[in-house]
Amino acid sequence: VGPREGKATARDKAPASLNAVFSPGADDGDELAALAPRNAVDAARAIDAVFEGPLPVEHTLAVIKPGTADEHRAEIMREIRAHGFTIAAQRRARLSKEQVESFYEEHRGKFFFDRLTSYIASGPVIAMVLAKPGAIKSWRSLMGPTNTFKARTDAPSSLRARFGIDGTRNATHGS
Catalytic sites, residue numbers: 173
Strand order in the sheet with 172-174: 86-93, 125-132, 58-64, 172-174
3-state helix, strand, coil split of the chain in percent (to 5) is: 45, 15, 40
Name the pairing type of β-strands 125-132 and 172-174: unpaired
CA 121 to CA 106: how far, in whole Å?
17
